[in-house]
Amino acid sequence: MGQPLGWGRRYLMVRPDHFRIDYVINPYMSTQDQPDQQLALKQWDSLRQAIIDAGGEVEVLEQRDDSPDMVYAMNLGFGTAQGKAMLSHMRFEPRRKESLTAAEWFMERDFELKRTGSDGVGPHFESGDAFVFGDSLVIGYGPRTEAGALEHIASEWNVRVRGLRITHEGMYHLDLPFCPIDSTHALVYPPALDAASQTELFGIVPDPIVLTDDEAFAFSGNSLVVDETIIMPACSPRLRELLTGLGLRVVVLDLSEFHKGGGSARCMTNPLDFDLAAASVAGGEVVLPA
Ligand code: ARG
């Protein structure tokens, strides 16, 4: 077992008061298959409660009526325990109003807020692509985040950024094929990435737990670790054995309504306590797959 992650205790969530499928920006979404509002709220609340039961904290932000995807709070921005935040600059226009509310939220809480761009100008960055792991800030790019954002963040914050190029259309954010478990273990789904990035991924993660196709597409990689608990939307017997073997308590929740928009437990929860100390390097540095 590696060391505990050191982050993942404080989250921001958005209550699904206006959760709908109004447009299609990923392969899971269909305007013909709308979420059941009441069930969605019940499922969302079970996730909030599971985080609290695991020893975590949840802050709740109200959903904008004009932003049906805002329930996927993971994309509102990347925040650190030291009070830095990088706002998302969404790839798709229908999600950009979310950033107006997110910016207010971060500023009201005294985060030192930066951004890679806004209103389509400047590189896109969606924080569902970004995690601290090992000696770096690991950022997926391709479908949503653009490579230019990695440069921007590295020099803005003087951090080492390792990029992973996502090529799978069903795995459009890094939080779908990558889930840090502790300092050495992570759930990974290599087919989400191009060949060079797969090699890079195995260099970044000392003890990878490789997901099967079925596990990955059941959103098992879209899980979160809160202290000794892993909260997951699905867990095969094989995975359960591996995870309990690492000393984790596995909590499985039904989040079916949120899968209709293409997200699950991780997408619905934005960690606010990342720590960039281990990634810090003078001048910043971007390592891209060969
Ligand atoms: N419908 C949302 C979108 O396509 C889903 C976001 C999922 N969030 C995530 N962090 N992977 O943007």
All domains of the chain, ordered by start, with CATH?
A: 10-287 (3.75.10.10)
Asked if 120 contacts 95 with a C-beta cutoff of 8 angstroms, the reply is: no
Predicted TM-score (pTM) above 0.75: yes
d(CA 36, CA 49): 20
Residue 68 CB partners (closer than 8 Å, separation 6+): 18, 19, 20, 21, 22, 261
Please indicate whether residue 8, judged by its CB atom, sits closer than 6 Å to ligand 1.
Answer: no
d(CA 129, CA 178): 9
Residue 136 CB partners (closer than 8 Å, separation 6+): 159, 160, 161, 162, 204, 278, 279, 287
Please indicate whether residue 271, judged by its CB atom, sits closer than 6 Å to ligand 1.
Answer: no
Q: To the nearest whole percent, how much of the chain has pLDDT over 90?
A: 99
pLDDT of residue 264: 98
pLDDT of residue 129: 98
- Residue 90 alpha carbon, nearest atom of ligand 1: 12
Please indicate whether residue 176, judged by its CB atom, sits closer than 6 Å to ligand 1.
Answer: yes
Is the confidence at residue 79, as pLDDT, over 80?
Answer: yes
The three-state secondary structure class of 177 is coil
Instruction: Kindly give the distance from the C-alpha atom of residue 220 to the centroid of ligand 1, in angstroms, as a whole number.
Output: 15
User: How large is the average pLDDT for residues 199-210?
Assistant: 98
Please indicate whether residue 173, judged by its CB atom, sits closer than 6 Å to ligand 1.
Answer: yes
Nearest CA residue ID for atom 7, ligand 1: 263
pLDDT of residue 290: 85
Q: How confident is the model at residue 19 (pLDDT cuts 50, 70, 90)?
A: very high
Instruction: Kindly give the distance from the C-alpha atom of residue 281 to the centroid of ligand 1, in angstroms, as a whole number.
Output: 30
Is the confidence at residue 187, as pLDDT, over 80?
Answer: yes
The tens digit of pLDDT for each residue in 123-179 reads: 999 999 999 999 999 999 999 999 999 999 999 999 999 999 999 999 999 999 999
Please indicate whether residue 263, judged by its CB atom, sits closer than 6 Å to ligand 1.
Answer: yes
